[in-house]
Structure 1
Amino acid sequence: MLKFDAIRPFYDAEANSAIREIVDDPMMDAMMSFTFPNDTKEHWKDLMLHTHSLRDFQINFIYPGVKKVLEKSSDGLSIGGFENLEPNTAYLFISNHRDIILDTSLLNASLYENGLVLTTSAIGDNLIKQPFLYTLSRLNRNFAIKRGLQGRALLESSQIASAYIKKSLLKENRSVWTAQREGRTKDGNDATHRGVLKMLTLSEEGKNPFGYFEKIKVVPISISYEYDPTDILKMPELLAKSRDEKYVKSENEDFLNLLRGIMGTKKRIHIQVNGVLDEEIAEIAKSESNLSDKLSQLASVIDQKIWSGYKLWPSNYIAHDLLYGNEEYASFYTEEEKNAYEKRLKSKVDTSNDLMVKNFLSMYANPVNNQKESLKSDVET
């Protein structure tokens, strides 16, 4: 399948050669020293050089690394809904997107611990420009989404990505993870972009592109961090947006976000599986609406599921009360938790800058508003 060569992960037959390319890289040494602090370099290198499949690389090296990240930078990971997924079954996981690496890494760790099919995961090619990161991402079963394209080039790239995802799900029985939008949500207001859903249908032949969703199992995923380790790094873009200014990333911004996301303080983390959308998709498919309307309906369903399944932490409720100047959710946090959050706020932003404070608080408060909207929608239906 040569058309996928520009975006696909390595095949198992290529895994060992790829490992040998990066095993002596200083970044690999740093990763393994962190993951296996009591192991010798000679030992982990020997194990790595005898690794011949992507799964073995993920389970023996990536998974322990993820567990070490949780140990060092969080107060633990909780999960819900995984018992409703079936073994040996491929799912299209669509989730809100907070962290460049951890969102999909934590999902895969949870899938592994529950005996479920691991994912191949979408990653923007802007994040893997460095040769080491490019090779590592392919060993970790990531496939690249081309960024910054326009016109015909964008369409062709989207068609290839769509065909690769379809092949993974329907021919290889391999689960796929993709974010609900291009790039991470910066303001905490998670929303599914219809363009992502449109891209998924591009590989469907015939006159009913929406029929693609009836052939696969779509599962919305909610992931929430009590503290967003990259919250302050998102502020410049939010401020530019507030001023209707164009935001231009700095040269190493993506890499800095990647590192801060891994090692920054997160406190508690929760991943919620929000069921399979078989019934909802079947209902949308029955309508006489055009494709655009059907995709909008599906995006709305995914949003409602992600919002309702989002684990709200004290940080979310505190931010909401501070933002709106009331104590509506005071029963959901303690005075000690509020003081700790306010201390974090003051250490991160210039509190004399009202716009900066508003943007920072909104990042944590918007999930509360969205869940409230979701509950309201459930009552109405």
Structure 2
Amino acid sequence: MQNFDDIRPLYDGEVPSVIRSLINDPYFRRAAEPLIKPITWEMFSGAMLACKSINDFQRTIIYPFMKQLIAKTTSELTGIGFEEFKDGSSHIYISNHRDIVLDAAFLNILFFDKGIDTSEIAIGDNLLIYNWITDLVRLNKSFIVKRRVSVREMLDTSRHLSEYIFDTITRRRQSAWIAQREGRAKDSDDKTQASLLKMLTLYNSSKPAEALRSLDIIPLSITYEFDPCDYLKAKEYQLKRDNPGYKKSQADDIENMRTGILGYKGKVFFKFGNRINDTLSRIDEKTSRAQVLETVTQAIDREIYKNYVFFPMNYIAYDLMENSNLFAARYTDEDKAAFDNYIDGQIAKIDIPGKDYRFLREKLIGMYGNTVKNFVSAEKI
């Protein structure tokens, strides 16, 4: 793996020195100390320094922190379809993307609880704002997706990542998670980017179907009852509408990460769909690359849509979006009143010039209704 030093997670032998660097970083301490209470910094840093491997770090530091966070910010975290991974097989899991940090973190907690090896995690280098964040994610089995490269460098960078993922899945027999698109789908209208699948084939670009088959893709649906960042996403929509040149700052990214981690999420479900190799096996070897990518993109989306878990508020949002009563039997008047109060409360958190209540309400409703809309479309196929 020497060729992948620029993007790979840490080796076990690198863990002690990186932990010492983290402990001595005042910015890491400033970020971590409020989150570990009532544990003291001395106790926490001592536990960190005792870790000699990635597994030690995940078991001793990440797992207890995440279990405490789950208890505080969710009412339930459930994994469906995990049993088949106890055979030690390796896959690439492709999921919809709701939370910057927690999608992959929750997935690995579910694996840990079920005695399954944790997954490596794809993370964009745009989120590696500080050195301590880079060290921390590499300690937690993350590999880096380079996005801050020139157009000239993009193809080589993408091929390098493709070769790393292929090596990870097929030689090291280590599973990996990657989101279906760059960035979160802020409106929850989840669509797999063909460019992601194209990247995955670059290690064997002349045989795209064979390249994807070797990775054993498994779609994963992630459902949060409440998205703590929903009002931040709606706010960003209006800011971009009012100023097409608007771009989020690093401070905005940090606010989104912090809100997503600490905010209340209610019930959370992770549900696996059917393997994509079933679809790939039916593709003729003479099929063009573009058609292979299109077919697999649609298959992944369909599996994600079919495996969402819904709550009354999702059905209410869909009926409001579509001006229908299709799902009226799935909710009560009390549910509708609670949803209206929730939307009003989230809009109240938004403080921007010229706040457009109607626009923000429409965007928030879409975030909770688009998943049902996509489910309905998948059921018609």
Within 5 A, what are the aligned runs for 1:176-191? 176-191=176-191
Within 5 A, what are the aligned runs for 1:193-212? 193-204=193-204, 207-212=206-211
Post-superposition CA distance 1:313-349 (Å, at most 9, x none) = 2221122223334433232233333322211211222
Within 5 A, what are the aligned runs for 1:72-87? 72-87=72-87
Q: Which residue of 2 aligns with 1:339?
A: 337
Q: Which residue of 2 aligns with 1:221?
A: 220
User: Is 1:81–1:275's contact at 8 Å kept on the other side of the alignment?
Assistant: no
Distance in 1 of aligned mates of 2:64 and 2:153: 39
Match of 1:369, as an amino acid? K
Distance in 2 of aligned mates of 1:240 and 1:287: 47
Q: Which residue of 1 aligns with 2:251?
A: 252
**Deviation of 1:354 (Å):** 2.2
Post-superposition CA distance 1:146-202 (Å, at most 9, x none) = 124342211121111111111111111111100001111111100000000000111
**Deviation of 1:229 (Å):** 0.9
User: Is 1:87–1:115's contact at 8 Å kept on the other side of the alignment?
Assistant: no
Q: Which residue of 2 aligns with 1:131?
A: 131
Distance in 1 of aligned mates of 2:203 and 2:221: 27
**Deviation of 1:41 (Å):** 3.7
Within 5 A, what are the aligned runs for 1:187-336? 187-204=187-204, 207-239=206-238, 245-284=244-283, 286=284, 288-336=286-334
Residue 373 of structure 2, aligned match among 357, 369, 374: 369
Match of 1:268, as an amino acid? K
Q: Which residue of 2 aligns with 1:71?
A: 71
SS in 2 for 1:210: helix
Distance 1:216 1:72, change over 3 A: same
Match of 2:222, as an amino acid? I
Distance in 1 of aligned mates of 2:237 and 2:42: 46
User: Is 1:87–1:117's contact at 8 Å kept on the other side of the alignment?
Assistant: no
Distance in 2 of aligned mates of 1:161 and 1:233: 31
Distance in 2 of aligned mates of 1:237 and 1:155: 30
Q: Which residue of 2 aligns with 1:120?
A: 120
Match of 1:256, as an amino acid? E
SS in 1 for 2:158: helix
Post-superposition CA distance 1:201-258 (Å, at most 9, x none) = 11126x3132112222111000010111111111244335667934411231111111
Distance in 2 of aligned mates of 1:248 and 1:190: 22
- Runs (4+) off by over 6 Å: none
SS in 1 for 2:281: helix
User: Is 1:35–1:64's contact at 8 Å kept on the other side of the alignment?
Assistant: no
User: Is 1:18–1:135's contact at 8 Å kept on the other side of the alignment?
Assistant: yes
Counterpart check, 1:355 vs 2:354:
no
Q: Which residue of 1 aligns with 2:352?
A: none
Match of 2:379, as an amino acid? L
Q: Which residue of 2 aligns with 1:11?
A: 11
Distance 1:268 1:246, change over 3 A: same
Counterpart check, 1:101 vs 2:101:
yes
Distance 1:348 1:117, change over 3 A: same
Distance in 1 of aligned mates of 2:78 and 2:329: 22
Distance in 2 of aligned mates of 1:348 and 1:40: 34
**Deviation of 1:49 (Å):** 1.0
SS in 1 for 2:247: coil
Distance in 2 of aligned mates of 1:141 and 1:132: 15
Distance in 2 of aligned mates of 1:334 and 1:11: 53
Match of 1:18, as an amino acid? V
Give the paired residue count. 374
Q: Which residue of 2 aligns with 1:155?
A: 155
Distance in 2 of aligned mates of 1:249 and 1:243: 14
Q: Which residue of 1 aligns with 2:351?
A: none
User: Is 2:276–2:296's contact at 8 Å kept on the other side of the alignment?
Assistant: no
User: Is 1:86–1:116's contact at 8 Å kept on the other side of the alignment?
Assistant: yes
Distance in 2 of aligned mates of 1:329 and 1:138: 44
Distance 1:352 1:13, change over 3 A: closer
Distance in 1 of aligned mates of 2:277 and 2:322: 38
User: Is 2:219–2:274's contact at 8 Å kept on the other side of the alignment?
Assistant: yes
Distance in 2 of aligned mates of 1:55 and 1:47: 13
Q: Please give the TM-score of this superposition, normalised by the length of structure 1.
A: 0.92
User: Is 1:222–1:274's contact at 8 Å kept on the other side of the alignment?
Assistant: yes
Identity of aligned residues (%): 34
Task: Show structure 1 runs of 5+ residues with no match.
Answer: none
Distance in 2 of aligned mates of 1:334 and 1:293: 44
User: Is 2:235–2:360's contact at 8 Å kept on the other side of the alignment?
Assistant: no
Q: Please give the TM-score of this superposition, normalised by the length of structure 2.
A: 0.92
Distance 1:121 1:129, change over 3 A: same
Distance in 1 of aligned mates of 2:308 and 2:143: 26
Counterpart check, 1:46 vs 2:50:
no
Distance in 1 of aligned mates of 2:373 and 2:127: 31
SS in 1 for 2:282: helix
Q: Which residue of 2 aligns with 1:89?
A: 89
